[in-house]
């Protein structure tokens, strides 16, 4: 059985935090940033304890790691450790850097460029009158080679976009190795988008719109570079196709108006139910022996939430003065306000007022009942 290369062991959480802390200290010291001496001393002690396999206070280590993370922000501790580990002597690092994704994307880009050059040379040679690489009966092979040519152009654009994005992340020290799968998905989306743009989306290169200067390889390269633009183009085409069958702008406006009216009716119903609930709660509190002054204050709050204030009236106009009632002269009585439109809400308010009167003048209520 052939020997298999063992993967490097995963470091413990304590070891990872110590290494990242050391890398962050080196990054700050190298860039001339201000760093408290106590942080450098504690980090050196953690590194020495890890090398000598001595116990480490995890709480102090976590506190130091968090403090250093704030100092190096927006850089990521993992990215700093990755780049710092590649610069240490004895580490096996490629000329393209320690990021494995960058190495893989560069290889893919070089393959796409090689295919592009070979097929373009073959197409130019086949177009020469004295040279014919493809016979007339091998038209299928020529078409296949043309599609592969487009795919290679889309691959060049997609790899260029991904490498440019990763380059900015590495310069900002914000690269995350966990985004490797997402980067490859974006690359293949770019390849597919470039092929769709050149093969399926119609472009009139004969019209005087500037598209005649863009050949199919250039269009494929642009599609591979910006897959999101191709996605928006296809989305607009689908929306235009749906508008043919779902109706015009007038029907859409009517549907939006109907939805708004339904929503307003629901909000109004919820408001009425909330007011009725508040009135019932006040009535229950009065029945339980609550002071009428507190019930009156709560009723005023309910009315203030429903009746517009004077600031809502336009300039030059005054708010209508409320009609004075006998209850305004007696603050110990609870006024009965008709604040709801539903009959149940009005009945609840009348019951609350009657309960307030009975609580305020029990002798009058007893005489009336007698």
Evaluate whether residue 370 is within a structural domain.
no
What is the percentage of the chain residues whose pLDDT exceeds 90? 15
Q: Do residue 222 and residue 118 come from a single domain?
A: yes
pLDDT in tens, 153-162: 999 999 999 9
Q: Which range (199-208, 234-243, 345-354) has the least confidence?
A: 345-354
Same domain for 105 and 73: no
pLDDT class of 370 with cuts at 50, 70, 90: very low
On whether residue 109 sits in a domain, the answer given is yes
Average pLDDT over residues 184-193: 92
In a domain, 206, yes or no: yes
Looking at the fold, whether 208 and 303 belong to one and the same domain comes out as no
**Residue 235 within a domain:** yes
Mark whether 122 and 150 lie in a shared domain: yes
Which of the given ranges, 77-86, 108-117, 284-293, has the highest pLDDT on average?
Answer: 108-117
- Measured distance between the N- and C-terminal CA atoms of the chain, rounded to whole angstroms: 108
Domain identity same for 114 and 35: no
**Which residue, 87, 109, 141, sits at the end of a domain?**
87
Better-predicted residue by pLDDT, 318 or 195: 195
d(CA 235, CA 229): 10
Residue 149 lies in a domain: yes
Q: Across residues 41-61, what is the average pLDDT?
A: 89
Both 123 and 230 in one domain: the answer is: yes
Q: Tens digits of per-residue pLDDT, 155-181?
A: 999 999 999 999 998 888 888 888 889
| CB proximity list for 11: less than 8 A, separation 6 or greater | 19
Regarding whether 105 and 64 lie in a shared domain, the answer is no
Per-residue model confidence as pLDDT tens digits over 63-98: 999 999 999 988 888 888 888 877 765 556 667 777
67 and 116: one domain?
no
d(C-alpha 196, C-alpha 190), whole Å? 10
On the question of pLDDT at 39 being above 80, the answer is yes
Does residue 269 belong to any structural domain of this protein?
A: no
Q: What is the DSSP letter of 141?
A: H
Q: Scanning the structure block, which residue is given the tokens 């980067």?
A: 183
DSSP β-bridge partners for residue 97:
94
Domain count, the chain: 3
**pTM, two decimal places:** 0.55
Pick the residue with more confidence: 96 or 6? 96
Contact 75, 174 (CB under 8 A): yes
Q: Does 251 fall in a domain?
A: no
Does residue 356 have a pLDDT over 60? Answer: no
Mean pLDDT of 206-221: 67
At residue 209, does pLDDT exceed 60? no
Do 116 and 239 sit in the same domain of this protein? yes
Residue 317: inside a domain, yes or no?
no
User: Is residue 97 within 8 Å of 170, Cβ to Cβ?
Assistant: yes
Higher pLDDT, residue 318 or 182: 182
Q: What's the whole-number average pLDDT of the chain? A: 75
> Does one domain contain both 224 and 296?
no
Backbone angles phi, psi at 65, to 5 degrees: -65, -40
Domain that holds residue 355: 274-311+325-365
Do 203 and 136 belong together in one domain? yes
pLDDT of residue 337 exceeding 50: no
Task: Read off the pLDDT band of 247 (50, 70, 90).
Answer: low
Does 104 lie in the same domain as 83? no
């Amino acid at each position: 059985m052939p020997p298999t290369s063992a993967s490097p062991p995963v470091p413990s959480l304590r070891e990872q935090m110590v290494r990242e802390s050391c890398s962050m200290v080196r990054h700050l010291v190298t860039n001339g940033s201000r760093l408290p001496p106590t942080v450098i001393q504690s980090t050196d002690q953690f590194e020495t304890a890890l090398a000598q396999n001595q116990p480490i206070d995890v709480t102090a280590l976590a506190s130091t790691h968090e403090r250093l993370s704030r100092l190096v922000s927006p850089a990521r501790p993992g990215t700093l450790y990755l780049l710092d580990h590649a610069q240490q002597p004895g580490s096996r690092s490629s000329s393209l850097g320690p990021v494995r994704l960058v190495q893989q994307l560069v290889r893919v880009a070089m393959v796409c460029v090689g295919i592009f050059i070979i097929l373009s040379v073959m197409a130019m040679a086949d177009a020469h009158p004295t040279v014919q690489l493809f016979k007339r009966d091998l038209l299928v092979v020529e078409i296949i080679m043309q599609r592969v040519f487009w795919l290679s152009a889309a691959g060049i654009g997609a790899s260029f976009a991904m490498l440019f994005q990763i380059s900015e992340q590495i310069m900002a020290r914000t690269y995350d190795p966990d985004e490797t799968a997402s980067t490859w998905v974006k690359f293949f989306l770019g390849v597919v988008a470039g092929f769709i743009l050149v093969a399926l989306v119609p472009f009139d290169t004969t019209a005087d719109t500037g598209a005649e200067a863009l050949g199919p390889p250039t269009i494929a390269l642009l599609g591979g570079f910006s897959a999101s633009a191709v996605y928006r183009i296809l989305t607009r085409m689908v929306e235009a196709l749906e508008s043919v069958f779902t109706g015009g702008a007038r029907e859409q406006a009517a549907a939006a108006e109907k939805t708004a009216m339904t929503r307003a009716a629901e909000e109004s119903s919820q408001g009425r139910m909330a007011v009725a609930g508040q009135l019932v709660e006040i009535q229950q509190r009065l029945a339980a022996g609550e002071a009428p002054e507190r019930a009156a204050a709560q009723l005023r709050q309910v009315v203030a939430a429903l009746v517009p204030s004077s600031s809502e009236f336009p300039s030059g106009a005054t708010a209508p003065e409320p009609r004075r009632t006998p209850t305004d002269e007696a603050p110990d009585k609870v006024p009965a306000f008709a604040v709801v439109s539903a009959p149940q809400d009005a009945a609840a308010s009348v019951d609350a007022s009657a309960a307030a009167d009975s609580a305020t003048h029990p002798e009058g209520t007893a005489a009336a009942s007698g």
